Structure 1
């Protein structure tokens, strides 16, 4: 077929162009670059409820760590003023002045319930994050090695059968009673054996996938067990580890609140300590905010952290990226 190039104002050079062949260029893959975590967050933020929960979590963490930096909290400032004690929010705003400090009323020492609430939340949330970081790190690493080494498995199973049958709350209570109930004592009590259950769970997951072809090939090539566990096994269980974190972080807040409620918790002004000291105000008319406000904040923090972790664990499962 002949074309009248002059009719369209084209030349042969403009209509056809020579393409040079390059072996290097032909080997390049033109598919878009894949990022695992980019895919994870794309799936996570696809659900609008996750965005709402994440905003709520951000507000809680901002108040937990930001507000105490702006306010110098002293629970004994109004100790000698009987008129400042056990005030309802409406009375506190009227008597003490229109301020954010008094929107939840005052406590037994005349202290601001609102200020005490976020000071206690900072201690409880910090305790939960530190304990979760220690237990998850130790538990995941030991669990991965536990699932690979038969000699290590014999020793660890004996240890697990002994310690695992002791009620965890009872063990924590005994350790707290042996030492001064301080922040780092509580961290020690929650982490000295807290990693063992996580390690056993990871060990079970490792046993399921350790004999797959790519792991056997790595072992035949002389790759060490530690490297196989670190490079081949743990990345495969990212969603499992994230889900574990989702359950562990809220559980430590619950343990701290429970131990403080029965009188064996922190001596610091944590959420559990606030609930313990305000127990008598639970059913007293006008004093309920002293008890129910830390209960509500502890519940909200626990639920929000759990939901965010669970949804992030689901999003980090590669099967949801199809």
Structure 2
């Protein structure tokens, strides 16, 4: 083996300025994740779309001259951007932007008020599932053993009950409405969040910070609340973002088959059902709620994918 002459090398020493320097600024986990999310153009565009849809559903019904249940029988089935000729709006130049339905009701205000109802049901149901899933999954994952086995068997039984059957049974004993749909969705929809939180708690409960808290005498409730659940927030946020479009679709499907919100309360599913019956004559009446449902679900799904990439520490550069 050929030896290399030492004279070919020189000692350059150490640079005290660079030795103490920081190669890059120190950032927290959340700040780093938010920075990566903001660099994701698709996710940010979807976030803007979601915010605009939510604000429109809240504000538009209050600023339009029409009401969602106000009938103009002389202007039934009018096309888009039709000027209102009703005597009550004479001289106001009121326009039916999305046209009217078979009872002369303005579809523009009904579309946004229907979006308010659909989003309210989706957010309420997901929030209830979040609370139940976090508490149930945290307890099951932390205690483990026999407690975990019993609690997870209950989850498997609940998960085996079809959601549609629960809705049908509840509709027989409860009146149709937002509350019934939220209760029906929350009755069987919390199992996915429970399994997710349980898996995270099982992997975290043997970490040093949990052992240290136990050694200091912290009770189980405090450990779950202060140590385990906060460290699962990134996964929970992603799951919630992806659960909202599923809840929106479920509400739209139930309203489409006549098991959702009662008439005349509008929702995207009900508007789609009414539009489908007259699609060949007035196709825009189906396009409007269909585009609203599709755009909202697509935005939430793409935002969820962006959050998944942002919270993944393996993608940190």
Aligned equivalents of 1:70, 1:258: Cα separation in 2: 29
Per the TM alignment, residue 225 of structure 1 is displaced from its structure 2 partner at its CA by: 2.3
CA distance in 1, matches of 2:64, 2:272: 21
For 1:89, what is the secondary structure of its paired residue?
coil
Partner of 1:300: 295
Picking from 129, 137, 158, the partner of 1:135 is 129
2:13 corresponds to: none
Equivalent of 2:78 in 43, 66, 87: 87
- Determine the structure 2 residue equivalent to 1:272: 269
2:156 paired with 1:161: yes
Asked if 1:37 is matched to 2:34, the reply is no
In structure 2, distance between residues paired with 1:109 and 1:51: 40
Whole-angstrom distance in 1 between the partners of 2:93 and 2:314? 51
Unpaired stretches in structure 2, ≥5 consecutive residues: 1-21
Q: Deviations for 1:74-120, whole angstroms, at most 9, x for unmatched residues?
A: 34534431xx1112226x24867996842222111111111110010
For residues 143-185 of structure 1, give each alpha carbon's deviation from its aligned partner in whole angstroms, at most 9, with x where no partner exists: 1111112343233123123211111232233223431111112
1:236-268 deviations in whole A, cap 9, x for unaligned?
Answer: 222211111112111111111001111111112
Is this contact kept in 2: 1:261–1:272, CA < 8 A? yes
Q: Distance in 1 between matches of 2:66 and 2:240?
A: 31
Offset of 1:135 from its aligned partner?
1.0
Per the normalisation by structure 1, the TM-score is 0.80
Partners of 1:197 and 1:47 in 2: how far apart? 27
* Structure 2 residue 117 is the aligned partner of structure 1 residue 120: no
SS in 2 for 1:278: helix
**Match of residue 111 from structure 1:** 105
**What is the aligned-residue RMSD (CA, Å)?**
2.6
- 2:38–2:44 contact (8 Å) kept in structure 1: yes
Alpha-carbon distance, 1:136 to partner: 0.8
Question: Retained in 2: the 8 A contact 1:50–1:308?
Answer: yes
Aligned to 2:141: 147
Cross-structure match for 2:240: 245
**SS of structure 2 residue aligned to 1:222:** coil
- Going from structure 1 to structure 2, the CA distance change for 1:99 and 1:42 (only over 3 Å counts) comes to farther
Q: 1:99 to 1:148 in 2, by over 3 A?
A: farther
Distance in 2, Cα, partners of 1:37 & 1:99: 50
Contact 1:143 1:203 in 2 (8 A): yes
How many pairs align? Answer: 288
For residue 309 of structure 1, report the CA deviation from its aligned partner.
2.8
- Which among 41, 54, 66 is matched to residue 61 of structure 1? 54
Whether contact under 8 Å (2:76, 2:101) holds in the other structure is: yes
In the alignment, the residues of structure 1 paired with residue 70 and residue 49 of structure 2 have an alpha-carbon distance, to the nearest angstrom, of 32
Classify the secondary structure of the residue corresponding to 2:39. Answer: coil
1:51 aligns with 2:48: no
Instruction: Indicate the SS of the match to 2:150.
Output: helix
Give, in angstroms, the shift of residue 44 of structure 1. 0.9
Is the CA contact 1:43–1:320 (under 8 Å) kept in the aligned structure 2? no
Question: Distance in 2 between the 1:227 and 1:146 partners?
Answer: 15
Q: Distance in 2 between the 1:269 and 1:34 partners?
A: 47
Aligned pairs (5 A) from 1:129-278: 129-149=123-143, 150-267=145-262, 268-278=265-275
C-alpha distance in 1, partners of 2:174/2:243?
24
Q: Distance in 2 between matches of 1:72 and 1:185?
A: 31
- Find the residue that maps to 1:265 and give its secondary structure: coil
Q: Is the 8 A contact 1:44 1:315 kept in 2?
A: yes
